[in-house]
A and B are shown apart, each in its own frame.
Chain A
Amino acid sequence: MASLKVPVTTSDHILGASSGAVTLVEYGDYQCPHCAAAQLPVKQILSHYGGRICLVFRHFPLTEVHPMAGMAAETAEFAGGYGRFWEMHDAIFANQPRLSPELLLTLVSALELPAEEFQEALASGLHAPKVQAHFMGGVRSGVNGTPTFFVNGVRHDADYTFADLASSIDDAMLAMTR
């Protein structure tokens, strides 16, 4: 039973009720088609459970197969520095088929974030250590591909459909009331 080795803290990107009943942690890669496909069920989960759940996203870029994944993760982190992480996160997934350095710059500009600072941050690798730390924390927690989900710290080994995720979340909620 693989379990989350890196606890969720305030330095994480958290969407939804931060003191919610259930914490759903997703390790993902912005160039992975499965992660893009998981966007919809994850959003459905968030709206279905409302204030009883929160989503945490952590980076797991498989750069050897997805050469743009690292830069995309650093771009999301850059936006996060301006409190715009989730908007960038959604924008990158929405534009995944056209992922390129030019596209990322376009998305930065579209969010009215400073383009020059963005390019400096990429060039200096400002956010690379955080992305790598996410990756290694994922490896040590048993992340075995993307997307990998943890429900209250337990790896979800089923599919990423709404029904499968909901089933794990319902089980976690039941376990908490015992």
Chain B
Amino acid sequence: MSTILAAGARAPDFRLHVTPDQVLSLDEMRGKRIVLAFYPADWSPVCGDQMALYNQVLPEFRSRGAHIFGISVDGAWCHQAFAQARNLHFPLLADFEPKGDVARAYGAYRASEGVCERALFVIDENQAIAWSYCSPIAVNPGADGILDALDAMPTTGE
């Protein structure tokens, strides 16, 4: 069990597939508020899974000027199928190769199982971590902590 990066730390940059043919880097998102939601795996067998919840709460993130990304070690094709099945309207990042490297950089990798923790990061316009939280792996952390963190940040011009 590693310790996740805390508020005040610099958010480690990454370049990851966001679709099978598109790559996104954190650096490109400079000037924007980001929510990074690490989660163990696509296709968890519940209706109210974490990504379905964030999808439903999307307007609340957007109205606070935040861009949310799900991130797991699943590959881009797997993410694509999952996003289509769940009707997701936000991107999923594939921390697939080298596997889990980004999760490790954030202290959010479970080496024993080879999956990401359920760890949340709110990243500010200057790419500093404003808030982070790691939930027990079996407990979906919900969206309340993210919204509380965004509400506590200075109002954004976006």
Contact = CB atoms under 8 A, between A and B. Distances in A.
Interface in A102-157: 135-136, 139-146, 148, 157
A34 B49 CA distance: 12
A34 B44 CA distance: 14
Contacts, number: 66
Contacts of A157: 139
B55 interface: yes
Of the four ranges (under 10, 10 to 19, 20 to 34, 35 or more), the interface on chain A belongs to: 20 to 34
A100 B50 CA distance: 26
Contacts of B19: none
A32 B86 contact: no
A28 to B, nearest CB: 10
A143 B139 contact: no
A64 B52 contact: yes
B86 A144 contact: no
B141 interface: yes
B86 A64 contact: yes
A62 B57 CA distance: 9
B85 to A, nearest CB: 9
Contact of A145 (B89, B140, B148): B140
Contact of B144 (A66, A141, A145): A141
Interface in B14-70: 46-50, 52-53, 55-57, 60
A62 B87 CA distance: 11
B144 A2 contact: yes
A135 B58 CA distance: 13
A51 interface: no
B88 to A, nearest CB: 8
Contacts of A5: 144
B70 to A, nearest CB: 14
A32 B47 contact: yes
A146 B87 CA distance: 18
B58 to A, nearest CB: 9
Contacts of B53: 62, 139, 144-145
Which of A32, A140, A144, A146: most chain B CB closer than 10 A?
Answer: A144
Nearest to B86: A65
A146 B52 CA distance: 11
A38 to B, nearest CB: 12
Contact of A139 (B55, B60, B86): B60
B147 A139 contact: yes
A146 B46 CA distance: 9
B139 A63 contact: no
Interface in B87-110: 87-89
14 contacts: A32-B47, A62-B52, A62-B56, A64-B56, A64-B89, A139-B53, A140-B147, A141-B144, A142-B145, A144-B139, A144-B140, A145-B47, A145-B140, A146-B48
Interface of B: 46-50, 52-53, 55-57, 60, 86-89, 139-145, 147-148
